[in-house]
């Protein structure tokens, strides 16, 4: 499904990604872990097409289609969804209006029927239950005045609405207390299917107790330096990242 090879990307002429190789198969969850500043969020944003980053070399394809040539909106229509680490507040734009605009843009691009307000409202009323979100929030401006937990749940709500082929979750657990973490993780688990893939970027192993990954990758200084199964995450939780860096130094 997703095939990334030797991906290099920079911002303001600073190289952040220094040759990423990653293959994700349908139905798989890949956790990407790493210390602060290792390039985890950059990878997430580059895949979604954030205009601040420049891809300097390498490839990324989704179902054999070149992702890197697509505009952000084209990637969304191709099935890519980015769950933002810091969802932006958009005052003056109602959340339900915004979601319907996006949903219908995607439907239209696929030659499918657009959804009217009533049907869309009915769908939203079901979907909010996945993340146990207050139904009144969807009538408010996008993320405006939302708590940290509400913003994260709103991201998962949108993931539920768009039903993306590839979800890239950028630290969906950051800043959440235990209850909120459980709700967000539950939401993600409900959206798992054998066809859809998830890349879960996280700093801590905590969320992986709830959302069990098929593969775990450690990203340090713009490269994936170690890959393994869910046990690797547990080892990181116990020993931190330093030992991996030491291992790399030693092997050089």
Interface residues with another protein (CB under 8 A) are 48-52, 71-73, 75-77, 81-82, 84, 87-88, 90-93, 98-99, 101-103, 105-106, 109, 141-142, 158, 162
Nearer to another protein, 109 or 246 (CB): 109
Shortest gap between Cβ of 127 and another protein (angstroms)? 14
Shortest gap between Cβ of 247 and another protein (angstroms)? 36
Nearer to another protein, 142 or 236 (CB): 142
Q: What is the DSSP code (8-state) at residue 1?
A: -
Shortest gap between Cβ of 73 and another protein (angstroms)? 5
Shortest gap between Cβ of 116 and another protein (angstroms)? 18
Nearer to another protein, 35 or 175 (CB): 175
DSSP-derived 3-state class of residue 233: helix
3-state SS record for 179-207: HHHHHHHHHHHHCCCCCCEEEEEECCCHH
Nearer to another protein, 14 or 52 (CB): 52
DSSP-derived 3-state class of residue 210: coil
End-to-end CA distance of the chain: 33
- CA–CA separation, 229 and 212 (whole Å): 10
Residue recorded with tokens 């490269």:
223
Nearer to another protein, 85 or 205 (CB): 85
Residue recorded with tokens 């507040």:
89
Residue recorded with tokens 């401006």:
141
216, exposed or middle or buried, with CB in 10 Å at 0-12, 13-18, 19+? buried
**Closest to 12 measured CA to CA, from 34, 32, 36, 42:** 42
**Closest to 102 measured CA to CA, from 86, 114, 90:** 114
**Which pair of tokens denotes residue 55?**
């891809």
Nearer to another protein, 92 or 111 (CB): 92
Quickly list H helices, 131-173. Answer: 148-162
**Which pair of tokens denotes residue 33?**
């872990």
Shortest gap between Cβ of 186 and another protein (angstroms)? 23
Shortest gap between Cβ of 66 and another protein (angstroms)? 18
Nearer to another protein, 150 or 215 (CB): 150
Shortest gap between Cβ of 155 and another protein (angstroms)? 10
């Amino acid at each position: 499904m997703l095939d990334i090879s030797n991906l290099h990307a920079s911002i303001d002429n600073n190289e952040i990604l220094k040759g990423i190789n990653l293959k994700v198969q349908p139905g798989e969850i890949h956790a990407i872990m790493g210390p602060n500043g290792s390039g985890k969020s950059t990878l997430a944003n580059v895949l979604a097409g954030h205009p601040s980053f420049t891809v300097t070399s390498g490839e990324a394809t989704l179902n054999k289609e070149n992702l890197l040539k697509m505009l952000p909106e084209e990637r969304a229509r191709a099935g890519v969804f980015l769950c933002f680490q810091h969802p932006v507040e958009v005052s003056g734009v109602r959340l339900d209006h915004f979601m319907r605009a996006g949903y219908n843009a995607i439907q239209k691009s696929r030659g499918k029927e657009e959804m009217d307000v009533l049907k869309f409202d009915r769908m939203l009323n079901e979907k909010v239950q996945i993340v146990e979100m207050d139904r009144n929030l969807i009538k408010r401006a996008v993320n405006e005045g939302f708590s940290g937990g509400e913003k994260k749940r709103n991201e998962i709500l949108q993931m539920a609405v768009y039903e993306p082929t590839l979800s890239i979750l950028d630290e969906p657990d950051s800043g959440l207390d235990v209850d909120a973490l459980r709700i967000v993780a539950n939401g993600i688990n409900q959206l798992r299917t054998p066809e859809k893939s998830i890349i879960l970027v996280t700093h801590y192993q905590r969320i992986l107790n709830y959302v069990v990954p098929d593969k775990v990758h450690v990203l340090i200084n713009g490269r994936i330096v170690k890959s393994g199964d869910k046990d690797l995450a547990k080892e990181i939780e116990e020993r931190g990242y330093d030992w991996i860096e030491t291992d790399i130094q030693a092997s050089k």
